[in-house]
Amino acid sequence: MKPSLMIRSYWILPSPVGGLLLLHDGRGLCGLQFQDGAHPLAIERNWKKQRNPFTLVIQQLEKYFAGRLQMFTIPLSLQGTAFQLSVWQALQTIPCGETTSYGAIAKKVGKPKASRAVGAANGQNPVSIITPCHRVIGSTGKLVGYGGGLPIKTALLKLEQSRL
């Protein structure tokens, strides 16, 4: 995720997969970044540290990590191309604990030959976990690519699959 002038507030939430940097733009959650992952995001000086805009997000993430929530109902404020937005919407339909391939998502968004483009859009997902890009795997069933790093992707999948 690229820092944006639109971001108004942030909060860092401890979690079983490390610190989660939550970002809000005044309309909804616009970012969830793994601060202990491969690419932590620097906090900008003009962002305000405040918990209040994230109350619902924090409640739902805590329930998710405790195994009591499988689908998020958080207002999002996502910025991307029409294709990226369609991919991110398709990601939200993947059931908790299940996985799918980049090719299957490409078919779902009406672009069956665009699995690489789906992978690129997946990699630009600004709200990891909430929009579950960790549930997308390679066509061979192998875990491939994840912005937070493969150990976090593995941990999230194990966490979800242990509840089934």
Active-site amino acid positions: 133
CA distances from 29 to 34, 57, 58, 157, 162 (A): 15, 8, 11, 23, 27
Scanning the chain, the segments in alpha helix (DSSP H) are 55-65, 82-91, 102-108, 115-123, 150-161
Q: How many residues does the chain have?
A: 164
Residue labelled with tokens 């970044």 = 33
To the nearest 10 degrees (0 to 180), the angle between helices 115-123 and 82-91 is: 80
CA distances from 108 to 9, 75, 127, 156 (A): 34, 23, 20, 23
Cβ partners under 8 Å of residue 59, min gap 6? none
